[in-house]
């Protein structure tokens, strides 16, 4: 009897070892059956990355490196315990190969090049009128103007010879990347004709009429590059409406800029200071003429009356042009701002309609406040009320690509789906629905029929239990999954066993049982595997447990049997009779052992 406690401790230890061996055997068996199932002991495979530069061994302290010695002209960079070889930037630049074809829709290098082309185009559009009207181009600085002019011409020429002839195009649904075909496509396009007109060599007339900036006016016809740059830049900007507002403002400033140049030219034609209407020649000529153009185009008023017929006609044309241009700018600005706030307007209209509906049916204020909270949180967290409305316009393949990037990492960690057909998981990703739960909302209740599986995208949920049903058993965080057994359980085994509530705001993905059954029709092997795993998980959940909560497994070394009842009765009778035989001595010895054990 003394060794019973020791044997119990040995039994517990051996039982733990048996459990570990059983778990390890099950893992190995499951991996042999399902090669796709990963083990917990294995480290996750590294994501594919670019090949690292070759590492050279670090020479031992005080000695020379083994093998080949470092060449003197090669460059090395010490990092941690290795020496990494890298190539200088000049060598990388020398060995750079220009691509044989350029995708104009996705190539960021092409967008950068268009930026330089547009800068050259803006130089011509803004400064040709200034140099023509104002006396800013003088013989002393003519070489500076010509230097920048011919630098812009060089950019135009490089755009024609190098970039435009390498642009890919679509023909009959195929992306053409052949050099000859791309060149012929550009030569037949309208853009090539405009690019040739832009580079008409009218500069040769400089030798006859002098350096007249108006001879460079064809350079302003390269407007197609400007509009292409706008489209490409808006496609890569996250907030394109900001650029649209800046561009519309630039349109207004440019119209005022041209008007100020025309006003100075008209003043110089009439004679500076000859009448009260013309510019008097005092102060900064450009700033004063620009101020007059702003007052004229915006029709502020307060301008001196024109005196001559030329001044009257000029002013009338200015007023008509100003009203038309300003109204167009205001309309365009309204469209830009309206497009930028279209989502916010839709959100407000939906909320107003919902509030009107709840007030009409006299919904309690507590429910109305929760509905308002849901609207506000959903809009601020997702930027939209329903993600499916955004994706419904995309082709099925693109919806699948987006679903894989957003949800695959979470779904692939679900133990129930490990080892299943990869395409089945892809089909399942497209059926996931995103739902937002408010704080203390019931995700599911105990006893109800489970028809969904939940994946936590953001936030936390709490599993409640205990006698009162309010004790927090466990808190599940982002990436956790619950309710997966309900998708495949049958015969009443799919009832919820606990209450689950949202702890704060929680974004969950939901997969319906109906959707999964529709998918499994096309994947019978995955269906068998899922049902097998579901039965195994249900069996583990329903396994009987002892009073400590551990499974009631049999002991390896059974404890010693207790004293037989007949022998106990004989000992008791000996004690009552006061006998002094062997039974009395044995009874006294058992009492002593029992006291020691206690």
Least confident of 98-112, 281-295, 325-339, 393-407: 393-407
Look at residue 588 and tell me if it is in a domain: no
Q: Is the pLDDT of residue 277 over 70?
A: yes
Is the confidence at residue 80, as pLDDT, over 50? Answer: no
Q: Which of 136-145, 180-189, 532-541, 560-569 has the lowest mean pLDDT?
A: 560-569
Q: Are residues 318 and 377 in the same domain?
A: yes
311 lies in some domain: yes
Q: What is the pLDDT of residue 156?
A: 96
CA atoms within 13 A on the CB side of 334: 6
Q: Are residues 293 and 345 in the same domain?
A: yes
pLDDT digits (tens, 9 = 90+) for 40-78: 444 334 444 444 444 444 444 444 444 444 444 444 444
Reply yes or no on whether the pLDDT at 406 is more than 80: no
Tell which of 524, 542, 560 closes a domain: 542
264 and 345 belong to one structural domain:
yes
CATH number for 308:
1.10.287
Q: Are residues 282 and 229 in the same domain?
A: no
Sheet of 82-86, strands arranged across: 55-56, 82-86, 75-79
The proportion of the chain whose per-residue pLDDT surpasses 90, expressed as a percent, equals 29
Q: Are 315 and 293 in contact (CB under 8 A)?
A: no
In a domain, 28, yes or no: no
More confident of the two residues 79 and 290? 290
pLDDT band at 566 (very low <50, low <70, confident <90, very high): low
Shared domain for 225 and 294, answered yes or no, is no
Q: Has residue 229 been placed in a domain?
A: yes
Which domain, by its residues, includes 365? 239-385
Query: Does 433 score more than 50 pLDDT?
Result: yes
Lowest mean pLDDT among 145-149, 450-454, 588-592: 588-592
In this prediction, residues 146-173 reach a mean pLDDT of 93
Interatomic CA distance for residues 477 and 459, integer angstroms: 6
pLDDT tens digits, one per residue of 476-528: 988 788 887 777 665 555 778 788 999 888 888 888 888 888 888 888 888 88
* Lowest model confidence (mean pLDDT) among 257-261, 322-326, 518-522: 322-326
Please, what is the average pLDDT of the chain?
Answer: 80
Confidence category of residue 580, pLDDT binned at 50, 70, 90: low
Asked whether residue 348 is domain-assigned, the answer is yes
Contact 505, 381 (CB under 8 A): yes
pLDDT of residue 576: 64
Would you say residue 580 lies in a domain? no
Alpha-carbon span 466 to 475, nearest angstrom: 15
Once rounded to an integer, what is the mean pLDDT over residues 245-265? 93
Percent residues over pLDDT 70 in the chain: 78
- The mean per-residue pLDDT over the stretch 330-334 comes to 86
Lowest-pLDDT choice from 202-216, 390-404, 438-452, 511-525: 390-404
Q: Which of 179, 210, 236 is the last residue of a domain?
A: 236
The pLDDT of residue 324 is 85
Lowest-pLDDT choice from 98-112, 420-434, 486-500: 486-500
Of 500, 515, 542, the one marking the end of a domain is: 542
User: Is residue 112 located within the same domain as residue 219?
Assistant: yes
pLDDT of 554 over the 50 cut: no
pLDDT, residue 413, reads 72
Mean pLDDT of 82-99: 65
Least confident stretch, 162-166, 202-206, 489-493: 489-493
Q: Rounded to 5 degrees, what angle do the CA atoms 409, 411, 412 make?
A: 65
Q: Are residues 520 and 536 in the same domain?
A: yes
Burial grade of 129 (CB within 10 A; 0-12, 13-18, 19 or more): buried
Q: Say which CATH number the domain at 535 has.
A: 2.60.120.10
| pLDDT at 485 (0 to 100) | 73
Q: Are residues 150 and 248 in the same domain?
A: no
And the tokens for 61? 């302290």
Asked if residue 399 has pLDDT above 70, the reply is yes
SS in 3 state form for 135-152?
A: CCCCCCCHHHHHHHHHHH
Q: What is the pLDDT of residue 534?
A: 76
Q: Is residue 17 domain-resident?
A: no
- With 0-12 / 13-18 / 19 or more C-beta atoms within 10 angstroms meaning exposed / middle / buried, residue 217 is middle
Q: Model confidence at 7, in pLDDT bands (50, 70, 90)?
A: low
pLDDT at 579: 60
CA angle 69, 73, 77 (to 5 degrees): 75
d(CA 131, CA 559): 108
Q: What integer is the mean pLDDT of 527-553? A: 65
Q: Are residues 175 and 271 located together in one domain of the fold?
A: no
Confidence of residue 152 (pLDDT cuts 50, 70, 90): very high
Work out the average pLDDT over 288-297.
90
User: Considering the domain boundaries, does residue 297 fall inside one?
Assistant: yes
Say yes or no: 196 and 332 in one domain: no
DSSP 62-127: TSPPSSSPPPTTSEEEEETTEEEEE--HHHHHHT----SSB-TTT-HHHHHHHHHHHHHHHHHHHH
pLDDT at 493: 55
Regarding whether 331 and 264 lie in a shared domain, the answer is yes
Report the alpha-carbon distance of residue 225 to residue 200 in Å, rounded.
17
Domain count, the chain: 3
Four-residue CA torsion sign, 158, 159, 163, 166: negative
Q: Are residues 279 and 349 in the same domain?
A: yes
Higher per-residue confidence, 355 vs 26: 355
d(CA 168, CA 183): 10
pLDDT at residue number 374: 87
Q: What is the pLDDT of residue 217?
A: 93
- Return the DSSP state at 36: T
């Amino acid at each position: 009897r003394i060794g019973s406690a020791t044997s119990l401790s040995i039994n517990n230890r051996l039982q733990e070892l048996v459990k570990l061996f059983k778990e390890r055997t099950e893992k190995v068996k499951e991996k042999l059956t399902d090669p796709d199932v990963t083990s917990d002991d294995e480290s996750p495979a590294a994501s594919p990355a670019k090949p690292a530069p070759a590492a050279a061994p670090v020479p031992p302290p005080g000695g020379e490196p083994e093998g080949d010695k470092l060449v003197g002209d090669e460059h090395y960079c010490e990092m941690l315990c290795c020496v990494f070889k890298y190539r200088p930037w000049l060598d990388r630049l020398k060995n750079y190969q220009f691509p044989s074809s350029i995708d104009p829709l996705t190539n960021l290098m092409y967008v950068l090049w268009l930026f330089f082309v547009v800068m050259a185009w803006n130089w011509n559009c803004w400064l040709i009128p200034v140099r023509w009207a104002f006396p800013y181009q003088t013989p002393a600085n003519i070489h500076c103007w010509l230097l920048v002019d011919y630098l812009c011409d060089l950019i135009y020429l490089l755009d024609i010879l190098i970039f435009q002839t390498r642009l890919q195009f679509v023909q009959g649904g195929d992306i053409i990347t052949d050099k000859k075909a791309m060149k012929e496509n550009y030569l037949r396009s309208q853009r090539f004709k405009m690019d040739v007109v832009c580079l008409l060599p009218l500069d040769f007339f400089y030798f006859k009429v002098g350096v007249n900036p108006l001879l460079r006016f064809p350079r302003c016809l390269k407007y197609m590059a400007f509009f292409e740059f706008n489209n490409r830049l808006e496609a890569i900007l996250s907030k394109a409406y900001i650029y649209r507002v800046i561009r519309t403002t630039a349109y207004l400033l440019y119209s005022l800029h041209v008007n100020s140049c025309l006003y100075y030219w008209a003043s110089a034609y009439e004679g500076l200071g000859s009448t009260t209407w013309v510019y008097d020649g005092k102060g900064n000529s450009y700033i004063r003429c620009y101020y007059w153009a702003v007052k004229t185009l915006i029709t502020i008023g307060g301008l001196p009356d024109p005196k001559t017929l030329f001044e009257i006609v000029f002013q009338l044309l200015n007023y008509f042009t100003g009203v038309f241009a300003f109204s167009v700018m205001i309309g365009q600005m309204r469209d830009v701002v309206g497009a930028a706030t279209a989502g916010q307007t839709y959100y407000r209209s939906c909320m107003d309609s919902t509030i009107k509906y709840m007030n009409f049916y006299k919904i309690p204020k507590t429910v109305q406040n929760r509905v308002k909270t849901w609207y506000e949180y959903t809009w601020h967290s997702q930027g939209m009320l329903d993600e499916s409305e955004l994706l419904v316009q995309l082709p099925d393949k693109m919806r699948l690509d987006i679903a894989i990037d957003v949800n695959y990492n979470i779904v692939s960690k679900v133990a129930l789906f490990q080892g299943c057909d990869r395409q089945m998981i892809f089909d399942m990703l497209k059926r996931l629905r995103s739902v937002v739960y408010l704080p203390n909302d019931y995700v599911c209740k105990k006893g109800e029929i489970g028809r969904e599986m939940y994946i936590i995208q953001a936030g936390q949920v709490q599993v409640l239990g205990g006698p009162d049903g309010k004790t927090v058993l466990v808190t599940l965080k982002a990436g956790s999954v619950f309710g997966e057994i309900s998708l495949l359980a049958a015969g009443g085994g799919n009832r919820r066993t606990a209450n689950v509530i949202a702890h704060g705001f929680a974004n969950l993905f939901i997969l319906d049982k109906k959707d999964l059954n529709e998918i499994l029709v096309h994947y019978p092997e995955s269906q068998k595997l899922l049902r097998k795993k579901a039965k195994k998980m249900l069996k583990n959940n329903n396994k009987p447990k002892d009073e400590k909560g551990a499974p009631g497994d049999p002991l390896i070394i059974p404890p010693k049997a207790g004293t037989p009842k007949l022998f106990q009765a004989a000992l008791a009778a000996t004690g009552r009779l006061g006998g002094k035989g062997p039974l009395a001595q044995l009874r006294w010895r058992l009492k002593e052992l029992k006291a020691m054990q206690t």
